[in-house]
Every structure is written in structure tokens, then in C-alpha cells.
Amino acid sequence: MSNFWEDRRIVVTGGAGFLGSYVLDGLKKRGAGRVFIPLIEEYDLTQLSEIQRMYETMRPDVVIHLAAVVGGIGANREHPGEFFYKNLVMGVQLIEQARLRGIEKFVAIGTVCAYPKFTRVPFKEDDLWDGYPEETNAPYGLAKKMLLVQSQAYRTEYGFNSIFLLPVNLYGPRDNFNPKSSHVIPALIKKCVGAVHAGVDTIEVWGTGKASREFIYAGDAAEGILLATEFYNESLPVNIGAGFEITIEDLVAKIVQLTGFQGRIIWDPTKPDGQPHRCLDTSRAREKFGFIAETHFDEGLKRTIEWYRTTFYPQP
């Protein structure tokens, strides 16, 4: 263990959220004693005055910016303006105010949604600007990608140490299982486990099942973020992923098997598949700060399903 974390004041925006909970676990293991979380109930980070108040109160040396307005395809389709504006204004103002205060390091968390719709697989960071993102989540993806532009521009002009990381789709215990805003894995787990408990023999799934996705266990993503925070100080964006892809059709079959659902899957091809493929090249993260995702996908899914069952269907 290094002493990087011992004396620094660390602010984790979004620290009370899904990924944030794993980042906080990792900080605790590293002996970070001064970690601060600007809770949404106390700070509206889309407001400049609230960002200034947060910085003045918490006085961080390092900021890990996880906070985001996010959701699955449905939420992105319903709220493109909100997702664009809130994510953009929050990130841009956090970075600017960090620069003005001479904060030592800013870790900006982007999204795989920033990649062009038809990116060569596996996605390499150098391909990030080769086209427009998939339409259903382009506003969110572009808002986040602007933080890369800002980070690089600020490093060039001001020498400000801001890095930009691109995590792929996350999953794991503590995920968001709200059907209005959840992503594909928690949505499928909720449907399958709920159907088993209710004795329902069909579930509906959006799209055709032909699109592919890559998923990283949230604990692994948190480890990648913390390694980058400690060891990476360059302007190039870096993918944080597990380095594999699976079709939605195969994902559904896997979750059906692991949950014990024995009914019928009804596909709704009138609903969008989203981006055709998602799979990251993770070589830069390995080379720059030694990150390799460790959790096998089946094991991660089992942990997630078990957590969901015990949390929402506890045994008497």
C-alpha cells in the first residue's frame, strides 16, 4: 500500500450511488481517512453556487467525479435534454472551479456511450471521434465527452491535472433496479426473479437480442478508477472494461438460467436495440496503470442475483 491516500482530502461526487459505494469501499481499504461525499440532498451540483459552497466546505485535494444523471435506453429517450444539460453543466463547472482553486487532481468519469455508433470492435480510445454516438444516448454521451475536451484543454493551457476514464456498462449488487431508469442487467434480473416469485410464465424484453454489450463488475470498475487516480497523470482517455462482449440474446439466456425462470421470452422488436456492439480495448489501462478486471461474468451475475433476492425477497 502506498501513502498516496493518507493525507489527501478526497471528494467523491456520486459517492452515495451504485459505483460510488464501491469506490468508497476501495478508498477505505487503501486507508483514505478524509473522504467527503456531497450528497444530492445537500448540494445541487448543477448550480454554480452549490459547487462553490461544496469546494469551500470540503476543501479537496483530489476530486473523483462519479455523479451523473443516467438511465437505460428508455430513460435516455424520455429525457435527452435533461441528461445533456445536467451532465454537461455539472462536469464543466466542477472542473472549472477545481482549476480556479488549484486542486491537485480531477478524475472525470465518462461513458462508453460517448463512442460512435458504428465503432470498430474492440473500441479503441483513438476511435472516440470517428463518428456520432448512437442516437438514443447521444446527448448523455456527448455531454460526458465534453469533459475530455475540457480536461485536455485545461492541461494544455493551465497545466491542470485532469484525467478522463471511460467505463463500460456496470453491474453488480446495489445496482439500480427501478424499471423506469435501470440498465439491462438489473432490469432482466428484476423481471426474471419477479416472474418466478409471482408464478408468471412470460417476460417481455426490448429489441431483437442481436446487439452485443460488454459489462464490468462495479467493484472492478472502482479498482480501475482508484488505480488511475493514484498512478495516471496524462491527457489520453482510458477505457475501463472487462474486455469481452455478449449478445443481449445470450445475456437473457444466462440470466434466465441463473434465476431459474422457466417461462417464455417475448421479444419486442419495435423497441430499440441501442448501439449495435460494445466491447472495449482495455490495453491502455493495463499498460498505464496495471488495471485488469478480475471478476468472472458468471460469478458477478450470481452475486448480483443473490443480492437482489435477499434484498427484495427476504426469507421469513
Dump pLDDT digits (tens) for 175-228.
999 988 888 999 999 999 999 999 999 999 999 999 999 999 999 999 999 999
* Residue 284 pLDDT greater than 60, yes or no: yes
Q: What average pLDDT does the segment 243-271 reach?
A: 96
Residue 103 lies in a domain: yes
Residue 163 contacts by C-beta under 8 Å, 6 or more apart in sequence? 105, 106, 107, 108, 151, 228, 229, 232, 233, 234, 235, 238
Q: Please answer whether residues 174 and 239 qualify as being in contact, where contact means their C-beta atoms are separated by less than 8 angstroms.
A: no
217 part of the active site: no
What is the count of structural domains for the chain? 1
Q: What percent of the chain has pLDDT over 90?
A: 91
Q: Answer whether residue 201 is part of any domain.
A: no
Residue 33 lies in a domain: yes
Q: How confident is the model at residue 75 (pLDDT cuts 50, 70, 90)?
A: confident
Tens digit of each residue's pLDDT (9 = 90 or more) over 137-177: 999 999 999 999 999 999 999 999 999 999 999 999 999 99
Catalytic residue among 22, 43, 140, 154: 140
The CATH number linked to 238 is: 3.40.50.720
Residues paired with residue 105 on neighbouring β-strands, in sequence order: 62
Within-domain flag for 180: no
Whether residue 313 is contained in a domain is answered as no
- The β-bridge partners of 133 are 116
In a domain, 301, yes or no: no
Range of the domain at 287: 10-175+215-244+279-295
Whether residue 182 is contained in a domain is answered as no
